[in-house]
Amino acid sequence: MENQKNNKFLGEEKISKLLLKFSIPCILSLLISSLYNIVDQIFIGHSSLGYLGNAATGIVYPITIIAVAFAWCFGDGSAAYLSLCQGRNDTKNAHKAIGNSILATFVTSILFLILGYLFKDNLLYLFGASSKSIKLASDYYLIILMGIPIYMLGNSMNAVIRADGSPKISMLATALGAITNIILDPIFIFGLNWGIKGAAYATVIGQIATLIISIIYYTKTKTFKLYKDSFKININIFKNVIKLGISTFITQISIVIISLVCNIMLAKYGAKSKYGADIPIAVIGITMKVFSIVINIIVGIILGAQPILGYNYGAKNIDRVKEVFKKVVIASTIVGIISTIIFELKPEVIISIFGSNEPLYLEFATLTFRLFLMLVTFTCLIKMSSIFFQAVGEPTNSAIVSLARDLVFFVPLVIILPIFMGIKGVLIASPIADFLGIIITTFLVIKFFKQIETIKEPVNNEVYLKPSNPGVIITIAREHGTQGKAIGQLIAEKLNIPYYYKEMTALAAKESGLDKEFISKINSGKDLLHDLYLTSKPVKYAIIAQEKVLKKIANQGSCVLVGRAADYVLRDNPNVIKIFIYASKEYRIKNIMQMYQDSYEDASKNLERSDRNRAAYYEMISGQKWANPENYDLCLDAKLGKEKTAEIICDYINKISKD
């Protein structure tokens, strides 16, 4: 009942009201994170260290991004796994995923610490250190490096806190770390005269504060509890964690690649210019962190819109999807234009926040803000569109939009343009990449909306549960091409009990308000990133509705259920008999060729894709391996023929019923 109310709320409430409700907390949380990353440079810039100090922190920053990429991969992956476990009422595996994630984060952080220490100078020079900045960078880096395990664990655990239904605690942990850092920075840098080491100590102590809050929360969690057994390595569960977190990892590593290439080129061509190598490195570090504030506002807006988009897209409320998108585009454009006006007309206002009155520094900083961030509005729209595609279950489009601007356009441009334009080529690479990126983005967005324009309004075909008597509930899982649906129908006819296949999706649509066609196709697997598609908002709504309907059908009495991981969803029902139907590849290809008039090659591809997607769907729903004989009561080879196979199953059912 509560789920229905939430669905109605997302499908009928005024969109501007929904956006304010969901987006403002997201924006605040992300702005706190931005503040965490920026305070060191503000205080360092106003100290005697000046731009050299900021250059040092800018050199170290990409290295910390590598660390957080792993932390977020494990954290976001285990958080997503926790959400899946919550949906399927699985209390056995969630704590193992989280425990394995914590263990992996800790082990990775120790390896990172060791390797980071052994290759310290190599890394610092790689990321742009010069003979002038290497000492400061080394001092800052060594202290930050010692805090890497704390930093990584805090970030990893924080993601799980949000998934556990406590976003306010997550924000509190981050805010406490940021506030601690802000308070300690002036004390350590100016009061105790510790300079850049003071900034590093303040950062690490802030990270400790964040970790302490996270650890305290883990003793009073809502939906899981950690045990010693939680930290026992479980390869299958951990593989799922990695699978669910890999997109976050790729996103973060792309930031590292951009920072690395940008720093290398700035150091190289800066050394040949009047600015030297250190001023450009210092300025770009500040520019990127100011830029991150703008982007985090955009991300907050679209993340708040995700549940609204997800539900309405699944329900085929296309007009509401378009309205949400339009409002988010307008909001993103306004943020981008305001930012552009400030960066173009009054960059000195931003630059002054970070101190340093060195004339060449001020000159290059002004130039950087005006050139590098010239088309920041396009950047905002690109980032917004990438997350929009995630929300409507289009991860391939999301990846194309995100990576095209950064890796396909920006990285080559930042390498090529300076050859002809010197250091200005590094700066102008950004707006050109934005311009090319927005072309790709606009094309994909227009294509997407043209496609959904052809979607018909949901047809309200009334479907009802079929009357039945108490008895066995037969679930049939099958490999593609085994004629499992036909076998299920024969069993239902022989036993004179209801049969459900397409009816399940129709009932789920009626239950949730989602579109029947959308639910039926969630496992079609046409998208290249099918595993990510299965974790998208609209698909999650559909899966919850399906599981609810399966339990309602089972409560009606004896029946045959084909597909939809019914064997797992109804695992606690004592009347369930779980059947799996398989066959050789050649036999199944032959059937597919006959059914769909496919060529041998097309039938083979169809078979492999369908089985792969069924396995991914089942694994996501259950956390178990699809087609594992141990999960079923009876496994049969379909080469016996559909009549004989159905007969054997009926005999088996009758024998069990008599016993």
Q: How many CA atoms lie within 13 A of 360 on its CB side?
A: 13
pLDDT of residue 517: 64
Q: Is 564 left (phi over 0), alpha (psi -120 to 50) or beta?
A: left
pLDDT of residue 338: 96
* CA dihedral sign of residues 156, 159, 164, 169: positive
| Continuous segment of H or E residues that includes residue 499 | strand 499-500
CA pair distance 449, 439, nearest whole angstrom:
16
Q: How far is CA 408 from CA 296, 383, 400, 401, 412, in A?
A: 23, 15, 9, 10, 7
Q: What is the DSSP letter of 427?
A: H
Tens-digit pLDDT profile for residues 202-216:
999 999 999 999 999
Q: How far is CA 377 from CA 25, 290, 338, 361, 368, in A?
A: 23, 14, 9, 26, 16
Q: Is 500 left (phi over 0), alpha (psi -120 to 50) or beta?
A: beta
Identity at 538, one-letter amino acid code: P
Q: Which residues of 287-322 are buried (b: 16+ CB within 10 A; e: fewer)?
A: bbbbbbbbbbbbbbbbbbbbbbbbbbbbbbbbebbe
pLDDT of residue 3: 44
- Structure-derived torsion over alpha carbons of residues 545, 548, 553, 558, reported in degrees to the nearest 10: 130
The residue written with tokens 């995700």 in the block is 306
Flag residues of the chain having pLDDT under 50.
1-6, 458-461, 528
For 638, phi and psi rounded to 5 degrees? -70, -10
Tens-digit pLDDT profile for residues 397-443:
888 888 899 889 999 999 999 999 999 999 999 999 999 999 999 99
E-state strands within 506-628: 559-562, 576-582
pLDDT of residue 224: 87
Q: How far is CA 150 from CA 70, 183, 246, in A?
A: 13, 19, 22
Among 563, 576, 577, CA closest to 621? 563
pLDDT of residue 640: 86
CA pair distance 232, 272, nearest whole angstrom:
55
CA pair distance 47, 39, nearest whole angstrom:
13
pLDDT of residue 615: 83
Domains of the chain: 1-34+275-408 (no CATH), 47-272 (no CATH), 473-658 (3.40.50.300)
